Amino acid sequence: MFINFWYVAGLASEITDQPLKRRMLGLDFVLFRDSEGRARCLSNTCIHRGGSLAGGKVRGDCVQCPYHGWEFDGDGNCRRIPSLGPNPTIPARARVDAYPTEERYGLVFAFLGDLPAAERPPILEIPDHEYGPDGPRDGWAATIQHFEWAFDYKRSMENGIDPAHNEYVHPTHGFSGEQDDYQMPSPTLEDTDWGTGFWSERLAPPLAEKKMREASGREEDAVIRAGTGHFGPCSIWTYIHPTPDIQIHQYLFETPVDESNTRLYLVNLRNFLTDTKDDERVMGRNEVVALQDRDVLVEIQPVQTPDSNNHEFFVGADTPIARYREYLKDWEGRGWRIDSARVERDRKRVAYAIPSQARREQKGWVLDAVPLRPGAAATQAGKAARA
Ligand code: FES
Ligand SMILES: [Fe+2]
């Protein structure tokens, strides 16, 4: 799991003036709205003596710890320590990490890391002609679904960009190997700063759902065009064009709960059957497909992707997965990968926090920053020191 990316913390609608506890990247956070309705995200561990802030309540712009009533504002600063009496000086060290949030597509994203704004990897963007500031544009309809399942997000990401699984996992997209001339050659990858992707054409049966099939105007098997790719460690775009005019664009944001549990938020844009009364039909279809993937993913061994590809057997169609792992290595080299084994080992003795940007300017934090795997610079320095 990686710091320094944006993660979906929750649906905009579930973040209210009641504090909400959310585990992300193996650590706990509290989410709430301040008096101006802004979504706020703080490390959930009270720095006094470890209370769970999410168990308390929101008072004005602050969340109040349920244990001794200390109050923390949306920037993480302690504003009130009741036991000190009226108008005390609050020590500067009395603060928790606070994380920037951004509300888009009906979701609240939190930036979990310490990079300053100008250096942060962006959120996977839905093009403005599909989804504007006020919702889907004319001619498009959007749905949001979310799931929480027991698999490693990397396994799920690799599944999302795997061109060869459709034939077997999704009877709606392939022929379960019954086509004698089926093959899936290495796709031609197109790399961007934050991920790889590709387009491919494949033979697919007509859409299974009757009304969607009618809307697509295609009753026969046909070659369809589809593109997919990852963006950062945890987001995927998938464009499916069952006919040149009919487009389904999916944006999947995965939030690792920990190394073996993942929450998935699927924003589905479509340019047909755009009446909201068809939302359920589309969501039902997406859920069937997502469950087909889940059933395979929860059984994969080992649960987490192995450290070396030599412990799996890659063929041409697996090149997007190999490339995804190269991107992860790059981000690990930057020192962004959490040392989850150590976090787990220490769990009962140490409450860690994801370092926020404020740690770059202010010293003296009560909680230790989460341990990170050594980046490339550290590895190089270590090698040089040993030489
Ligand atoms: S533990 Fe939070 S106020 Fe004491
Ligand atoms: Fe799939």
Domains annotated on the chain, with CATH: 1-123+339-387 (2.102.10.10), 131-305 (3.90.380.10)
Question: How does residue 385 score in pLDDT terms, banded at 50, 70 and 90?
Answer: low
Ligand 1: residue of 44, 45, 48, 52 to mutate (most ligand atoms within 8 A of CB) is 48
Q: Is the pLDDT of residue 387 over 90?
A: no
In which region does residue 246 sit, left (phi positive, over 0), alpha (psi from -120 to 50) or beta (all else)?
A: beta
pLDDT of the residue at 181:
81
Q: What is the pLDDT of residue 286?
A: 95
pLDDT per residue as tens digits for the range 350-359: 999 999 999 9
Tokens 């341990």, residue located: 371
Q: What is the whole-number distance in angstroms between the Cα of residue 289 and the centre of ligand 2? A: 7
Task: Please give the number of the atom of ligand 1 that sits closest to the Cα of 51.
Answer: 1
Name residues contacting ligand 1 (CB within 6 A). Answer: 46, 48-51, 65, 67-70
Task: Report how far Cα 355 is from the mean position of its chain's Cα atoms.
Answer: 18
- By DSSP bridging, strand 27-33 and strand 5-11 are unpaired
Q: Which residues contact 251 (CB under 8 A, 6 or more apart)?
A: 105, 124, 126, 235, 236, 237, 266, 267, 268, 269
pTM of this structure: 0.94
Distance CA 311, CA 332 (A): 20
Q: How far is CA 90 from the centre of its chain?
A: 36
What number does the ligand 1 atom closest to the CA of 69 have?
Answer: 3
Ligand 1: which of 30, 49, 78, 366 to mutate, judged by most atoms within 8 Å of the beta carbon?
A: 49
Q: From the CA of 68, how far away is ligand 1's center (Å)?
A: 5
Q: Which of the listed residues 43, 64, 67 should we mutate to test ligand 1's pocket, taking the one with most ligand atoms within 8 A of CB? A: 67
Q: Which amino acid is at 315?
A: V
33 C-alpha vs ligand 1 centroid, how far in Å? 20
Name the 3-class secondary structure at 341. helix
Ligand in nearest proximity to the CA of 238: 2
Kindly report the protein residue whose alpha carbon is nearest to atom 4 of ligand 1: 68
CA atoms within 13 A on the CB side of 49: 5
Nearest Cα to 149, choosing from 264, 62, 53, 25? 264
For residue 200, which of 212, 216, 189, 214 has the smallest C-alpha distance? 189
Query: What is the Å distance from ligand 2's center to 317 Cα?
Result: 14
> Among 42, 44, 70, 95, which residue has the most ligand 1 atoms within 8 Å of its CB, making it the best to mutate?
70
Which pLDDT band holds residue 224 (cuts at 50, 70, 90)? confident
Which-ligand-closest: CA of 83?
1
Asked if residue 359 lies in contact with residue 367, where contact means CB atoms within 8 angstroms, the answer is: no
CB of 17 within 8 A of CB of 42? no
The atom of ligand 1 lying closest to the CA of 70 is: 3
Q: How far is residue 376's CA from residue 387's CA, in Å, rounded to a whole number?
A: 16
pLDDT at 178: 79
CA of 168 to the centre of ligand 2 (A): 9
Is residue 344 very low, low, confident or very high in pLDDT (cuts 50, 70, 90)? Answer: very high
Backbone angles phi, psi at 381, to 5 degrees: -60, -40
Ligand 1 centroid to residue 236 C-alpha, Å: 40
pLDDT (average), residues 54-63? 98
What is the rounded CA–CA span in Å between residue 157 and residue 66?
A: 38
The Cα–Cα gap between 305 and 303 comes to 7
- 175-187 pLDDT tens trace: 777 777 888 889 9
Bridge partners, 41 (sequence order): 31, 99
- Ligand 2 centroid, distance to 14 Cα (angstroms): 28
**The pLDDT value given to residue 375:** 86
Distance 115 CA to ligand 2 centre (A): 33
